[in-house]
């Protein structure tokens, strides 16, 4: 059978995205706003987005940073703290500002120091979210210091996620950026229909060897960290299976090159410039190109109860290089995931 040369998809959404603020927001936004129609925007700014007013203001800054005529809807999230008032979440959700709330275990990742120290502390907030049908987005990693960094996700499932799901039997939960076969199996085994998971391009494409190829590779460092090959293969199986509980979430997380190439480099990969092309590459390798649209453009919207997008995007089979750097006005740069490498698919520019 002849290989597909052009792939036109219903416009996809990114269900997990870091856009940052100010000049970084300005530099990175266009890479997501084309091709993605909507994105769940992570609230881990400094200070974090914890109130309806802060989320409204952040949404306005994102919309102001869009080029004229670009159709992109940022879906805002609340950063859950131990003391987040349940009423703030209710008001934000009912007023159409908060699409979801994000649970960062305190200390688990970049800018998570104001996160949740125990589920018990946010029980009232979770009860309210459960009654509203407001999704809880979970960074699923144990922060217990004795837990090995590669085991943190699996331990979190046993220690925290299972009890949380039992305590809140109707709460909608997304396990964000899953990285292990344990997470893939856990979500697959759920029969309640209220559990979903996002999967990033990097966890589908690379195993943890990428961190150490010929030396230490800071641009392959993100959290949760890349895992062993068996985990990557399990993620590829579920992502390409057609199972509606798994959907696209890039976790594109820009950091300045200088802050990644450092003695204590930041976690996060800026994959927005190539994310859709990467997913297409993976789905094609798995013989599942016909399932890409469901993963990218259907499953997430259905989980969130949102309408499907109307427009389309087109990928062409044409080798294209990911840019080496995205420049900021002051001369500093962000090095994208796979910057300088060539991918087999090129994203067509947006039609006017
Ligand atoms: C994210 C960031 O930089 O904000 N980093 C990352 O490695 N993914 C935070 C996160 O999603 O964990
Ligand atoms: Zn993230």
Q: Where are the domains of the chain?
A: 6-347
Which ligand has the shortest distance to the CA of 222? 1
CB 167 within 8 Å of CB 207: no
Please list all protein residues whose beta carbon sits less than 5 angstroms from ligand 2, which is an ion. 251
> Residues 6 or more apart from 296 whose CB is under 8 A from it?
9, 12, 13, 247, 248, 276, 279
CA of 241 to the centre of ligand 2 (A): 24
Please identify, by atom number, the ligand 1 atom nearest to the C-alpha of residue 139. Answer: 12
β-strands 312-321, 342-347: how paired? antiparallel
The preferred substitution site among 253, 260, 334 for testing ligand 1, maximizing ligand atoms within 8 Å of CB, is 253
Please identify, by atom number, the ligand 1 atom nearest to the C-alpha of residue 267. Answer: 7
Task: In whole angstroms, give the CA distance from residue 23 to residue 28.
Answer: 9
CB 82 within 8 Å of CB 107: no
- Give the C-alpha distances (Å, rounded to integers) separating 336 from 88, 190, 204, 222, 256: 36, 35, 17, 13, 10
CA of 185 to the centre of ligand 1 (A): 23
Please identify, by atom number, the ligand 1 atom nearest to the C-alpha of residue 16. Answer: 11
Nearest residue (CA) to ligand 1, atom 4: 110
**DSSP conformation letters of 71-137:** --EEEEEEE--TT--HHHHHHHHHTTSEEEEEEPBTTSSTT-TTSBS-GGGGHHHHHHHHHHTPPEE
Helix (H, G, I), strand (E, B) or coil at 18: coil
Which ligand has the shortest distance to the CA of 253? 1
**DSSP conformation letters of 70-87:** ---EEEEEEE--TT--HH
Tens-digit pLDDT string for the chain (352 aa): 457 899 999 999 999 999 999 999 999 999 999 999 999 999 999 999 999 999 999 999 999 999 999 999 999 999 999 999 999 999 999 999 999 999 999 999 889 999 999 999 999 999 999 999 999 999 999 999 999 999 999 999 999 999 999 999 999 999 999 999 999 999 999 999 999 999 999 999 999 999 999 999 999 999 999 999 999 999 999 999 999 999 999 999 999 999 999 999 999 999 999 999 999 999 999 999 999 999 999 999 999 999 999 999 999 999 999 999 999 999 999 999 999 999 999 999 987 5
Task: Match 């997470």 to its residue by tokens.
Answer: 183
Task: In whole angstroms, give the CA distance from residue 179 to residue 199.
Answer: 8
Residue tagged active-site, from 21, 190, 251, 352: 251
Q: What is the pLDDT of residue 47?
A: 96
- The CATH architecture to which 6-347 belongs is Alpha-Beta Barrel (3.20)
Q: Whole-structure pTM over 0.85, yes or no?
A: yes
Task: Match 């400094």 to its residue by tokens.
Answer: 46
Which ligand has the shortest distance to the CA of 223? 1
Main-chain phi, psi angles of 350, to 5 degrees: -65, 140
CA of 52 to the centre of ligand 1 (A): 22
CB 88 within 8 Å of CB 94: no
Task: In whole angstroms, give the CA distance from residue 86 to residue 73.
Answer: 25
Query: Is 82 a residue of the active site?
Result: no
Main-chain phi, psi angles of 25, to 5 degrees: -50, -50
Helix (H, G, I), strand (E, B) or coil at 316: strand
CB 109 within 8 Å of CB 147: no
Task: In whole angstroms, give the CA distance from residue 104 to residue 161.
Answer: 12
Task: Match 């970084």 to its residue by tokens.
Answer: 24
- Please give all residues whose beta carbon lies within 6 A of any atom in ligand 1, as ranges: 18, 44, 109-111, 139, 222-223, 251, 253, 267-268
Could you list the beta-strand ranges (E) of the chain.
Answer: 6-10, 13-17, 38-41, 73-79, 98-103, 136-138, 173-175, 195-199, 246-248, 312-321, 326-327, 333-334, 342-347
Cβ atoms within 10 Å, residue 342: 10
Q: What is the pLDDT of residue 109?
A: 87
CA of 2 to the centre of ligand 1 (A): 39
CA of 111 to the centre of ligand 1 (A): 8
Task: In whole angstroms, give the CA distance from residue 10 to residue 301.
Answer: 12
Please identify, by atom number, the ligand 1 atom nearest to the C-alpha of residue 255. Answer: 3
């Amino acid at each position: 059978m002849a290989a597909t040369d052009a792939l036109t998809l219903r416009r996809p959404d990114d269900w997990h995205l870091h856009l940052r603020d100010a000049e970084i927001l300005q530099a990175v936004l266009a890479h997501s706003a084309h091709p993605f129609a909507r994105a769940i925007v992570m609230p881990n700014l400094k200070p974090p987005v914890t109130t309806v007013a802060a989320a409204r203001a952040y949404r306005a800054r994102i919309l102001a940073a869009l080029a004229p005529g670009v159709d992109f809807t940022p879906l805002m999230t609340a950063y859950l703290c131990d003391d987040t008032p349940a009423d703030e979440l209710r008001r934000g959700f009912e007023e159409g500002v908060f699409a979801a709330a994000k649970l960062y275990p305190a200390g688990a990742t970049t800018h998570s120091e104001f996160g949740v120290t125990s589920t018990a502390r946010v029980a009232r907030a979770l009860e309210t979210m459960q009654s509203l049908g407001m999704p809880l987005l979970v960074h699923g990693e144990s922060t217990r210091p004795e837990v090995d960094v590669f085991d943190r996700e699996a331990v979190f499932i046993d220690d925290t996620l299972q009890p949380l799901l039992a305590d809140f039997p109707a709460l909608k939960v997304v396990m964000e950026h899953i990285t292990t076969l344990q997470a893939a199996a856990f979500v697959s085994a759920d029969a309640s229909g209220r559990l979903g998971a996002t999967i990033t391009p990097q966890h589908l494409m690379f195993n943890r060897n990428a961190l150490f190829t010929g030396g230490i590779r800071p641009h392959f460092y993100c959290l949760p960290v890349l895992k062993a090959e068996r985990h990557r293969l399990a993620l590829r199986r579920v992502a390409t299976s057609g199972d509606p509980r798994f959907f696209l979430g890039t976790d594109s997380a820009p950091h300045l090159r200088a802050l990644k190439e450092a003695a204590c480099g930041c976690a996060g990969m800026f994959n927005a410039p190539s994310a859709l092309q990467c997913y297409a590459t993976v789905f094609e390798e798995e013989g599942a190109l016909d399932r890409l649209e469901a993963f990218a453009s259907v499953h997430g919207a259905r989980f969130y109860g949102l309408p499907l997008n109307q427009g389309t995007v087109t990928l062409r089979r044409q080798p294209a290089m990911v840019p080496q750097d995205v420049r900021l006005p002051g001369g500093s740069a962000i090095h994208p995931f796979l910057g300088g490498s060539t991918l087999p698919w090129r994203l067509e520019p947006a039609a006017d």
